[in-house]
Amino acid sequence: MIYSVEDDEQIRGLILYALKQSGLAAEGFPDALAFWKAVSRQRPTLVLLDIMLPGEDGLAILKRLRGSPDTSGIPVMMLTARGEEMERVVGLDMGATDYIVKPFSVLELVARVKAQLRRAEPQSPCQAMRVGEIQLDRETYSVSAGGKPVTLTLKEFELLAYLMRHVGSACNRERLYLAIWGDGYAGNTRTVDVHVQTLRQKLGGEGEYIETIRGFGYRMRRVT
């Protein structure tokens, strides 16, 4: 889930429309108070943050995000009308991962959001993994469930590998979509749901290890 903190209702609406049209889940907030309430309910995967806000400004929000272990790793992109070099330097020095000056291109904004989400993905996946009775080996491109071999398509294999690599963690649909299909694929997050369904069927009884998180995404259940 991407959060946009922008007090200008028209700009906020444009940002949310562009992100949702690109298959990304997003919510918008006019001020820090509404934003922090949302963060307490659901941790965002990326934050688009204006500097000039009523009450707590964007730099103060950024400082709080970076100061908490729960939110310190979230990519934060600053969107502001302040184009001076010093403002950009301050924001980046405080931990912003990108900086876009208004007025901005919507296409560029979406492309840079997707680039930030890709960079946030963990690297160096394990070659061989096991969760309960599911075994996956990248080197031999093989999968077994309950001791029986399972034949998967390339995308099903990559999706399973991603979930197993993040076992126990909630994975939202946008991150899954970008990690497996990339931003050049003509589809949306519904593609993830369809592949999870077929993946569960092919895994048989072990398919129940893949849990649905309503309104968010999926999680590979940790099996002891």
pLDDT digits (tens, 9 = 90+) for 138-177: 888 899 999 999 999 888 998 999 999 888 888 888 888 8
Contact 53, 5 (CB under 8 A): yes
SS3 188: coil
Judge if the upstream peptide bond of residue 125 is cis by omega within 30 degrees of 0.
no
Higher pLDDT, 73 or 195: 195
pLDDT number for residue 95: 83
Q: Domains of the chain: which residue ranges?
A: 2-119, 128-220
pLDDT of residue 91: 74
Yes or no: say if 59 and 90 are a contact pair by the CB < 8 Å rule. Answer: yes
Q: Residue 56 above 60 pLDDT? A: yes
Rounded CA separation 167/49 (Å): 30
Tokens of 47: 């934050």
Confidence of residue 186 (pLDDT cuts 50, 70, 90): low
What integer pLDDT is reported at residue 82 of this predicted model?
66
Question: CATH fold of 2-119, please?
Answer: Rossmann fold (3.40.50)
* Sheet order of strands, 142-145 included: 128-131, 134-137, 142-145, 148-150
How far is C-alpha 50 from the geometric centre of its chain's CA atoms? 20
115-136: per-residue pLDDT in tens? 888 777 655 555 789 999 999 9
CATH number of the 128-220 domain: 1.10.10.10
Q: Model's pTM, two decimal places? A: 0.60
| Burial label, 67 (beta-carbon count in 10 A; 0-12, 13-18, 19+) | exposed
Kindly tell me if the per-residue pLDDT of 17 is higher than 90.
yes
| Mean pLDDT across 90-104 | 83
Percent of the chain, pLDDT > 70? 92
